[in-house]
Amino acid sequence: MFIPKRILFEKNALDYEIGNNIYNFFKNNENIEIINLKGNKLKENIPGNNIYDFYREGKRTLVVGVKKGMKFQSCKPSAHYQLPLMSGCIGQCEYCYLNTNLGDKPYMRVNVNVNEILQQAENYIQERLPEETIFEGSATSDPIPTEPYSNSLKQTIEYFSKSEMGKFRFVTKYTDVDTLLDIKHNNNTEIRFTLNTNKVINDFENKTPSAEKRIEACKKVIEAKYPTGFIIAPVFLYDGWKNDYKNLLLNLNQTLPDEITHPVTFEVISHRYTTKAKNVILQAFPDTTLPMIDEDRKFKYGQFGYGKYVYQNEEINEIKEFFNNEIENIFKNKIIKYII
């Protein structure tokens, strides 16, 4: 559970139930600074005169606000639309893609007007009928660490449990799933966990749980009969990578419950970075050992119009062949959604 150093309440945030729940949860904690913002000068309340310091203070900050614009972004290949319940993440993963579009907003933000967000989701569902519409709840965040006191996911899962043509999914590296286990989800929410090798977690995924703890949380979710999946990401090519990733898959398979209600899904994403993210990363983590040599990569334009550096074609093909073969051989009840 995320215990922030400071909480910034934007104007009107306390007019909503979630805003009040968060305030009441923390109001008696003398170690937390609570600030009621009167204007839009949010960053002035987060210390740090440079990216290095501001990044670390931002990661200890929770912003509670009202989502204003209601145009949802697309979310290929994960879903049809992003569901903007929140943004940001408490982790300090050095490679994080959020450094591209949230590099100057490292804080965690919870949007309190969930009812309005879900109503807009319903509008999108109606527009796409008779086709099913899938919403991604973690496109710009990891929503689990604030769930014990925001209950945003609980409200959303309960909403989609009653939907005939809408589905919800989100992914996490964190383990605070207990409040979600007794919810009637009606199989309409898929919970996924991001996994990686011990080397990648130790080298780059600062302030995150171990793979073993993530898998333990995943077992709880499977036992609660949620559709469940795994994102293996980002895949790094290093000496011994095939052996490490195979051991990760073998350990996962051995730890999963014997009885699984739904096929587990797999999404595999190779490491990539943008120039903007690289510039932020090098300032936030000046000693990083991330492989970010532009000349070693292929430049490719993404779905949002900006370019990124990806592995060369032959390397991507090797990744695809390896994970296709290993997942097919190791897991029985599974679906490989994509390997990119």
- pLDDT band of 258, cuts 50, 70, 90: confident
Per-residue pLDDT tens over the stretch 185-215: 999 999 999 999 999 999 999 999 999 999 9
Mean pLDDT of 92-96: 93
Is the pLDDT reported for residue 102 higher than 70? no
**Top-level class of domain 6-339:** alpha beta
- pLDDT band of 338, cuts 50, 70, 90: very high
Per-residue pLDDT tens over the stretch 120-131: 999 999 999 999
SS3 string of 142-160? Answer: CCHHHHHHHCHHHHHHHHH
Dihedral sign for Cα atoms in the order 304, 306, 311, 314: positive
Task: List alpha helices for 198-333, DSSP H.
Answer: 198-204, 211-223, 241-255, 275-284, 313-330
- pLDDT band of 304, cuts 50, 70, 90: low
What is the pLDDT of the chain when averaged over all its residues?
Answer: 94
Q: Among residues 26, 17, 48, which one has the least CA distance to residue 8? A: 26
pLDDT at 101: 64
Is the pLDDT reported for residue 306 higher than 80? no
Where do the domains of the chain lie? 6-339
pLDDT at 148: 95
Is the pLDDT reported for residue 100 higher than 70? no
- pLDDT band of 97, cuts 50, 70, 90: confident
Q: What is the rounded CA–CA span in Å between residue 280 and residue 78?
A: 26
Lowest mean pLDDT among 66-80, 101-115, 132-146, 296-310: 296-310
Q: Are 134 and 80 in contact (CB under 8 A)?
A: yes
Is the pLDDT reported for residue 60 higher than 90? yes
3-state secondary structure of 197: coil
Lowest mean pLDDT among 19-28, 30-39, 87-96, 298-307: 298-307
pLDDT at 227: 97
Q: How many CA atoms, within 13 angstroms, populate the side-chain half-sphere of residue 262?
A: 21
pLDDT at 88: 93
pLDDT at 54: 93
Residue 119: which H helix or E strand, with range?
helix 114-128
pLDDT at 242: 98
Is the pLDDT reported for residue 111 higher than 80? yes
Mean pLDDT of 47-74: 94
pTM for the model stands at 0.92
Is the pLDDT reported for residue 50 higher than 80? yes
Dihedral sign for Cα atoms in the order 95, 98, 104, 106: negative
Mean pLDDT of 281-288: 93
Is the pLDDT reported for residue 303 higher than 70? no
3-state secondary structure of 76: coil
Is the pLDDT reported for residue 41 higher than 90? no
Lowest mean pLDDT among 28-37, 84-93, 95-104: 95-104
